[in-house]
Amino acid sequence: MPTGLLPRFFEAVTRRAFGDLSIDDAPALRYLTDLLTRFVRSEALRAIRELPGRRLESVTDSLLAIQDVWATDSPDFSPGAERALRRQVGDYTLFMTGIFRDHVDRLAVTAYYEQEGRRAYRFVAEMARARSEAEAPLYRRLSDRFEMYAGALTYARKVYFRADAVPPAAWPADPLVRTLFVG
């Protein structure tokens, strides 16, 4: 499991939520812990290492970037970056649908996010399977059970990310973290 206070906090919360919901999937628990830890910094929501200096503000931007990495006349031509972009789409949609469900519902993009998240994780799973990578089954489960894992994140937020659970003086300055605790 990850080290450091924030990863341990997210691991404990995710473990409790999985226990409360009777979800028995240790690899998914570790993945969601990592997802929360990575996305706790708002800039991580829009950053793709494979595309340095390029911020992707939306799911649509990410899908358009996938087209760009395949355009042979584009300076961004890099077909290998598609997997990272697809994983980012899956991670972003899972995080937003799970943690900020009310916001996603207000934007009326819930079904779209669920569809694109499932599709993204399915692509990553198939790429991992073709390369005989050990995490292929995890990505397949993230695709097949997308709504269940998003629901687990929603549950964790509502039950365990309460303002009274952490004193305000201990909150990181990042506005996204503050949003987690004050809704």
pLDDT tens, position by position, 130-144: 999 999 999 999 999
User: How much of the chain exceeds pLDDT 90, in percent?
Assistant: 50
φ, ψ (nearest 5 deg) of residue 161: -100, 65
- Kind and range of the H or E element at 16? helix 5-20
How many angstroms separate the CA atoms of 153 and 26, rounded?
15
- Kind and range of the H or E element at 98? helix 81-99
Q: Which two tokens stand for residue 153?
A: 């994140």
Tally of structural domains, the chain: 1
* Span 35-46, average pLDDT: 71
Give the pLDDT band (50/70/90) at residue 85.
confident
Residue 163 has pLDDT above 50, yes or no: yes
Q: pTM to 2 decimals?
A: 0.76
**Domain residue limits at 32:** 5-182
pLDDT on residue 70: 55
